[in-house]
C-alpha cells in the first residue's frame, strides 16, 4: 500500500491516532420516510417522487411508522438507550440534489444514545462507544457520467430523496485503522442480524465517513481532524485511515500544521485528496421541524419492538458452542452471517453428529463457495444435502475422500448433494471385507513386533495398523470396518 511519506515505525509509535466513525444505514422499508413513494433501487430516474419528497410548497411530511420501528430495533441491537421523546430538526443547506433546501434529520434530541460495540484490540476486548443513533432522510443523487452530454452537464435523480436512513455516530474511541475495520464489520453484522437493512455498500445502503486526527502519546487535547468521505468498502476505509495517519504525522514532524478539511480517498492510488476546507464549521441553522410532532416511542411500543429483536451474533455464538459442542472458533465462523448460522443449525439438528456438520460446512462448503465467489444462499448444496452427506460419512457408508469428490461434482453440475449421490448410483465405500482382510493379514505377517506390542497391552499400536490399511486401500476403506477387522485379527 502506498503511504504519504516514509514514516518510520518509531516515529509512528510517538503518536496516537484518534478515530470516530459516522455510518449511514438505509432502512429496508417499502416506502420513504415521509411519503408513500417507493424506495426501490434501480428504477428509472425521477419516477419515485411526489410533492412531499420534491419539497413542493404546501406539501406536508407524514412519518413512516415502520422506519421508526426499524430504527428503534437497530438502536436496541447496538445497546443504545431509546429516548422516549425525540425531535425532528431541519438541517439547512443548499445542494442541487436537495430540492427542499433542507434535510429533515434529528439534532439535539436524537432517537437513541449511549450504545457500544465490543471489538478485539491489541489489549484484549475493547468497547467502542456509540454516541447517538438518529433518523433522517436521504438526499438525491447527482449523476456526473453516463449521458451523451455528461462532459457539460450534471443530471439529478431524486428517487433517493426522502429514503429513510439511520446515522450511527461513534465516540472517538477508535485508536487504529484495524479497530475501525473491526468496529464496522461488527456493526454491519449486528444490523444484518436485525434485518432492518441489507447493508449493501455497492448500492449505497451502508456508507461511512471517518474523522481522524493524531496527537502525541499522552497528550489530552485532540489534534486537528480531517474527514474522509464516501469510501465504499471497509478495506478501503482501513487503507484511507492508514494513509491519513501517516500524512498527519508527516505534516507535524516536518513542522507544519494539519488543515481541517474533507478529503476523498482514491483507492487506485491509495491516497487521499483534499476536497473542501472545513476551517469554518458548517452552520446548518438547525431548528425543530415545524411540520412534524415530537416523535414519542413510549415504553409499551418499545417493549413490542424489543420482542422482535432476534438473537444477536455474540449471544448466538455462546449458545451454539453449548448446544452443538463445537469450538469458539467454529462458532465464530458459523455465525459470520445470520443465514449461515440459520443454515448450519438446520443441518446440525437434522444430522446425527453436529460437530461433523460444523467441520463439513467449514472445510468442504465455505471454501468451495469462496473459490467460486458464491454466497451461502447460492450454494448448490443445501443444508439437507450437508446433513445427508454428514450422516453417510458418520455411518461409514462413504469415505471422506468420496465425500470430497461428490461435493466437487455438486459444484460442477450445480446440483444438490442428494441428486448427485443418486446420479452416481449411491456409491458405497467397499464393505467387501475379503480384500481388506487380505491386506490386514499381510500387514500382520510383515509387522510381528507391533503385533507383539499390541498383544502385550499397548493398544495405541492399533492406530499404526489402521493408518497402514487406509494407505493400502487408498483412503477408500471405512475406518470403522478397518478398526473392527483389525481388533478381531489382532486378538
Least distance CB 38 / Zn ion (angstroms) = 9
Q: Give the whole-angstrom CA distance, residue 186 versus residue 414.
A: 32
Among 53-61, 109-117, 193-201, 320-328, the segment contacting Zn ion (CB under 5 A): 53-61
Segment lying near Zn ion (by CB under 5 A), choices 49-57, 91-99, 271-279, 419-427:
49-57
> Judged by CB under 5 A, how many residues of this single chain contact Zn ion?
5
Toward Zn ion, which CB reaches closer, 161 or 211? Answer: 161
Judged by beta carbon, residue 47 or residue 325, the one nearer Zn ion is 47
448: left (phi over 0), alpha (psi -120 to 50) or beta: alpha
Q: At what angle do helices 448-455 and 461-472 cross, to 10 degrees?
A: 140
Q: Closest distance between Zn ion and the C-beta of residue 34, in Å? A: 8
Exactly one of 18, 19, 25, 37 binds Zn ion (CB under 5 A); that residue is 37
Rounded least distance, CB 87 to Zn ion, Å: 22
The region of 34-42, 185-193, 291-299, 330-338 touching Zn ion under the rule CB under 5 A is: 34-42
Cell reading at 247: 500524512
When the beta carbons of 62 and 315 are compared against Zn ion, the nearer one is 62
Handedness of CA 399, 403, 404, 406 (dihedral sign): positive
35 lies in the binding site for Zn ion (CB under 5 A): yes
Compute the Cα dihedral for 70, 74, 79, 81 and give only its sign. Answer: negative
Alpha carbons 32 and 14: distance in angstroms, whole number:
48
Smallest distance, Zn ion to C-beta of residue 32, A: 5
Q: Please list every residue from 333 through 392 that binds Zn ion, using CB under 5 A.
A: none
The count of other CB atoms within 10 Å of the CB of residue 281 is: 7
Q: Which C-beta is closer to Zn ion: that of 35 or that of 130? A: 35
Question: Which residue is associated with the grid cell 439534532?
Answer: 107
Q: Write the CA distances from 413 to 51, 102, 374, 405, 471, integer angstroms.
A: 52, 54, 15, 12, 30
C-beta of 60 vs 374, nearer to Zn ion: 60
Q: Which is nearer to Zn ion, 46 or 353 (CB)?
A: 46
Shortest Å, Cβ 53 to Zn ion:
3
- Closer Cβ to Zn ion, 31 or 205, answer by number: 31
Identified binder of Zn ion from the candidate list 23, 53, 187, 237, rule CB under 5 A: 53
One residue of 50, 116, 156, 487 binding Zn ion per CB under 5 A? 50
Closest separation between CB of residue 27 and Zn ion, Å? 16
User: Which stretches of the chain bind Zn ion, using CB under 5 A?
Assistant: 35, 37, 50, 52-53
Amino acid at each position: 500500500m502506498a503511504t504519504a511519506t516514509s514514516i518510520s515505525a518509531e516515529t509512528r509509535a510517538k503518536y496516537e491516532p484518534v478515530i470516530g466513525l459516522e455510518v449511514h444505514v438505509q432502512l429496508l422499508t417499502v416506502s420513504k420516510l415521509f411519503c408513500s413513494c417507493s424506495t426501490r433501487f434501480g428504477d428509472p430516474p425521477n419516477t419515485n417522487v411526489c410533492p412531499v419528497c420534491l419539497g413542493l410548497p404546501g406539501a406536508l411530511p407524514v412519518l413512516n411508522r415502520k422506519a421508526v420501528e426499524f430504527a428503534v430495533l437497530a438502536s436496541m441491537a447496538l445497546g443504545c438507550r431509546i429516548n422516549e421523546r425525540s425531535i425532528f430538526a431541519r438541517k439547512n443547506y443548499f445542494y442541487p440534489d436537495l430540492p427542499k433546501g433542507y434535510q429533515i434529520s434529528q439534532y439535539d434530541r436524537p432517537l437513541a444514545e449511549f450504545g457500544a460495540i465490543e471489538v478485539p484490540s491489541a489489549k484484549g476486548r475493547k468497547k467502542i462507544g456509540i454516541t447517538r443513533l438518529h433518523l433522517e432522510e436521504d438526499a438525491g443523487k447527482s449523476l456526473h457520467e453516463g449521458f451523451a452530454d455528461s462532459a457539460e452537464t450534471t443530471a439529478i435523480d431524486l428517487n433517493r430523496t426522502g429514503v429513510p436512513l439511520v446515522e450511527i455516530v461513534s465516540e472517538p474511541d477508535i485508536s487504529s485503522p484495524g479497530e475501525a475495520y473491526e468496529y464496522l464489520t461488527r456493526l454491519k453484522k449486528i444490523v444484518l442480524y436485525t434485518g432492518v437493512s441489507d447493508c449493501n455498500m455497492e448500492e449505497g445502503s451502508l456508507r461511512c465517513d471517518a474523522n481522524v486526527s493524531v496527537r502525541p502519546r499522552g497528550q489530552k487535547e485532540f489534534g486537528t481532524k480531517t474527514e474522509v468521505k464516501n469510501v465504499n468498502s471497509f478495506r478501503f476505509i482501513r487503507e484511507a485511515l492508514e494513509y491519513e495517519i501517516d500524512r498527519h504525522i508527516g505534516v507535524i514532524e516536518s513542522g507544519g500544521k494539519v488543515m481541517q478539511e474533507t478529503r476523498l480517498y482514491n483507492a487506485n492510488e491509495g491516497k487521499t485528496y483534499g476536497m473542501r476546507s472545513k476551517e469554518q464549521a458548517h452552520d446548518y441553522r438547525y431548528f425543530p421541524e415545524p411540520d412534524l410532532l415530537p416523535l414519542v416511542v413510549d415504553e409499551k411500543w418499545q417493549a413490542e419492538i424489543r420482542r422482535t429483536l432476534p438473537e444477536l451474533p455474540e449471544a448466538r455464538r455462546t449458545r451454539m458452542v453449548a448446544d452443538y459442542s463445537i469450538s469458539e472458533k467454529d462458532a465464530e465462523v458459523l455465525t459470520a452471517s445470520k443465514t449461515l448460522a440459520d443454515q448450519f443449525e438446520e443441518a446440525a439438528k437434522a444430522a446425527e453428529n453436529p460437530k461433523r456438520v460444523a467441520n463439513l460446512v467449514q472445510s468442504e462448503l465455505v471454501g468451495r463457495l469462496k473459490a467460486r465467489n458464491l454466497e451461502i444462499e447460492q450454494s448448490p448444496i443445501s443444508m439437507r444435502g450437508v446433513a445427508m452427506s454428514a450422516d453417510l460419512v458418520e455411518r461409514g457408508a462413504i469415505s471422506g475422500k468420496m465425500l470430497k469428490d461428490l461435493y466437487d461434482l455438486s459444484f460442477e453440475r450445480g446440483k444438490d448433494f442428494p441428486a448427485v449421490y443418486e446420479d452416481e448410483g449411491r456409491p458405497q465405500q467397499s464393505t467387501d471385507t475379503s480384500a481388506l482382510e487380505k491386506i490386514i493379514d499381510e500387514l500382520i505377517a510383515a509387522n510381528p513386533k507391533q503385533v507383539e506390542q499390541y498383544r502385550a497391552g499397548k493398544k495405541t499400536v492399533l492406530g499404526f495398523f489402521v493408518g497402514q490399511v487406509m494407505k493400502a486401500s487408498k483412503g477408500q476403506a471405512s475406518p470403522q470396518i478397518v478398526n473392527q477387522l483389525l481388533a478381531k485379527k489382532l486378538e
